Chain A
């Protein structure tokens, strides 16, 4: 190809829109496929039609043969029937009586109408439209003849030989006279004494008319011919124009499908005659063309619809490609700050490809930058990490060693790299564990402590051992595993942890003690949050309410105590008042609680919760009541005693007074009347 043309094609390829190109390609492929399928389909149709027509012609040929067979057979059956009819035997009897066989000079009678020894014309038409009806006497001499179409009697019938009658007397006989085939059927009629009284013969030239007549109206639409000879030729046909007499079959084979069969072995024949059925190949071709034309039209419409559908789809895809291209441009601009290129026209896919290539380049550049940055960041992280970061290969050989590792283990990077990590940093007591852990991973591919902290005793360069915490992460790199060890000196932390642990132990102990105390006191203790939900209660409370602690936690005080609502109100008010209160409540079962609630506030004065302490004072109440009653009774007794005292004392006093009065009076009396006394 010319070198100048290539850039032109490339330019065209780029400039032509994708939809146009795709449609063009589809049209070209469609035309090629159409041509190929048309070629195969045409051949396929041709073959199918040939087979169908062959089957059809076989079928037609069978029908034509059967019609012809029946027609030929009719001749002999008809002559037998005509010879046995009464009018014929009467006529023959009449001639016999006239001793017609003995006539020396005979005058042949030619009838122009059906003679009286034959059935009427309608019957003749029904049975057989023979051409010649011949009556001969006992000596085989022609005596009377009737020609249906007033045709002249053939010469051989004027003086027929005995062989003719012998061959035609038991079956229809096909023979050739004067190059014309004839069908002859005869019936010899014996006389009273067994002598031959006469012979009735039916004959007909086997010509076009005969053939057409044999096929009837139904068979007139198909082409049929009688053929004979070693190189078969037509002797009669039902279509002179297409199948002319004398035409050789082999010459017709390129114009007709031919099916030939049939020997007239139901009769006698000294003719090699066959019935051939023809079907014009032109008609098959025409039918084939018509069907193919219809199919081609259908195919063209289908292809057109397909192409249009495809074009629409491609257009839709192209629109999306354009959008994607636009999105890539926007992305490039926003992400990488690259100025978008001018909107190009042409192959949208190529434009997208170009944009994508640019984007790829941009991404690669960015990736390299990011990679560099990441490496730098990694380096910084590793170098400035508080932990020692050591990498090894799958054999445990140290590959990298950060500054913190130098600090923790005392070895410089140069000293440590290339040595086995186990020997370098692990204390003797943990060598085996460390080694087995690495071996386990190499064997099973599983890391028993993956992403978990391993605490081992590490060894400093100066020989002192310390507690170190490892985390190990394997990574697949360059076809091998590398192990990233992050190691931290946790000596101080461990000490802190120990302290915390001790503290925790103390706290736990205190907590246990507190809880034991909490549950051991006889008071019912509840702790409620801001919303007055019970967040804690002690066992006595649970026993008092006959519920489990779990059932109580989260509930309201009112759920468990009849006085709960009232208590809640009080607590709520007291929260505001920020002071503890004491209250007595009677429960639904008649028990008395002495409730103390103490709101608890944080250092900011925010309410945290309320601690409620309830003491069962039922007994106290009972004693109090009893005391009250005793007091009343005592008072009553006192009153009574006082009354009695008053009464008794008063009476005594009165008595004393009276006595005093008496004494006075006596005295007075005595004074006045000392004798009377």
Chain B
């Protein structure tokens, strides 16, 4: 009987140990899986594109149609809308003729590669393909990427895992999610709308799912922000992603949308973003040329002005300036943001 009792205890101990190991490994695996789904937030600032020597010697040459300009800038869509009036005021004040174009990170990269502009604006953290010799990135701030739905959608909050599973096509019905009062969402299929821009740049949607192959084959892709808002605002069953200000404010003429909380944190909660609790964001930056043939002190002054403007920008634009990022432990190399703060838990 004693032998039998000991054996029994041993069996229980073994079972508990095995359960703990399994549980631990399951958590570890889940953590790893989540980590593997998340793409990089930043690229290695030390690596850059190899360009011919002749290219490096090339000075900045503006497009002929730009006319006689003292500075040429290409800004990303959000910064163009936020900063253009103040830049124009700055130009007026300093007697400068600044040509500003409204475009994308890809265009900025292309124009920089062709050395057509002095300052390139990026709404994504720069990728290796954007890093040209003699080009310096200055981070201006970060902004949360909101997941948003039609205002009639009763779902208000989802977990990051659920968000990923929605876009991966593993959660297909809104009824698989819960409303704030614990009831299941509507029994309709989720229509995911994606804008998989800047695939070679880190951050942005890649913090949700690293690459386009992870997204559901059912996902409806659009080519620009305006169409994204239009699609979600006109479909009660749709979900999309974009920076909160563009989604809820700037493009509201395209239709109204409602942002979702992720793990209980709203994209408008900039403190949550700063502390790393809100997981998806965009990194804004502008560039200056530092090469002998390309350096422009006027551009350097303008970049300083832009950074200062963002520091004093209204919180409604949803942009966290670099001073707050630095204070919250975000990692910088020079003037470029290169890493997230260490999380305590």
Contact = CB atoms under 8 A, between A and B. Distances in A.
Nearest to A267: B106
Given A163-B113, A265-B197, A270-B109, A66 B50 contact: no
Interface in B96-114: 99, 101, 103-107, 109-111, 113-114
Contacts of B107: 263, 269-272
A72 B199 CA distance: 14
B182 interface: no
B222 A263 contact: no
Contacts of A261: 224, 226-227
A246 interface: no
A391 interface: no
A489 interface: no
B66 A73 contact: no
A269 B50 CA distance: 19
Contact of B63 (A70, A230, A266): A230
A16 to B, nearest CB: 61
A62 interface: yes
Contacts of A317: none
A582 B203 CA distance: 144
A166 interface: yes
B34 interface: no
A110 B86 CA distance: 55
A261 B227 CA distance: 9
A251 to B, nearest CB: 14
A121 to B, nearest CB: 26
Contacts of A266: 195-197, 199, 221, 223
Contacts of B199: 170-171, 266-267
B65 interface: yes
A181 to B, nearest CB: 11
Given A162-B50, A270-B107, A271-B110, A265 B66 contact: no
Q: How large is the interface on A (under 10, 10 to 19, 20 to 34, 35 or more residues)?
A: 20 to 34
A264 interface: yes
Interface in A245-281: 261-272
Nearest to A268: B106
A436 to B, nearest CB: 84
Contacts of A166: 49, 129
B110 A270 contact: yes
Contacts of A62: 227, 230
A597 interface: no
A69 interface: yes
A192 interface: no
Interface residues of B, number: 35
A484 B61 CA distance: 117
Interface string A147-174: 0000000000000011100110011000
A266 B50 CA distance: 24
B223 A265 contact: yes
A144 B242 CA distance: 42
Contacts of B50: 162
A395 interface: no
B160 interface: no
A483 B334 CA distance: 116
A231 interface: yes
Contacts of B226: 261
A229 interface: yes
A609 interface: no
B129 A167 contact: yes
A267 B196 CA distance: 8
A485 B181 CA distance: 94
A215 interface: no
B266 to A, nearest CB: 26
Contacts of A131: none
B214 to A, nearest CB: 14
Nearest to B224: A262
Nearest to A70: B221
Contacts of B109: 268, 270
Nearest to B132: A163
Contacts of A265: 104-106, 195, 197-198, 223-224
A230 B99 contact: yes
Contacts of B3: none
B227 A263 contact: no
B4 interface: no
Contacts of B49: 163, 166
A355 interface: no
B222 A230 contact: no
A175 interface: yes
B77 interface: yes
Nearest to A69: B223
A470 interface: no
A187 interface: no
Contact of A73 (B65, B114, B221, B230): B221
B191 to A, nearest CB: 14
A162 to B, nearest CB: 7
Contacts of A65: 223-224, 227
Given A171-B199, A265-B104, A268-B129, A229 B65 contact: yes
A401 interface: no
15 contacts: A65-B223, A66-B222, A69-B221, A170-B200, A171-B199, A230-B65, A264-B106, A265-B104, A265-B106, A266-B195, A266-B221, A267-B199, A268-B109, A270-B110, A271-B110
Interface of A: 62, 65-66, 68-70, 72-73, 161-163, 166-167, 170-171, 175, 229-231, 261-272
Given A62-B227, A265-B195, A272-B103, 9 more contacts: A69-B221, A69-B223, A167-B129, A261-B227, A262-B224, A263-B103, A265-B105, A267-B199, A268-B106
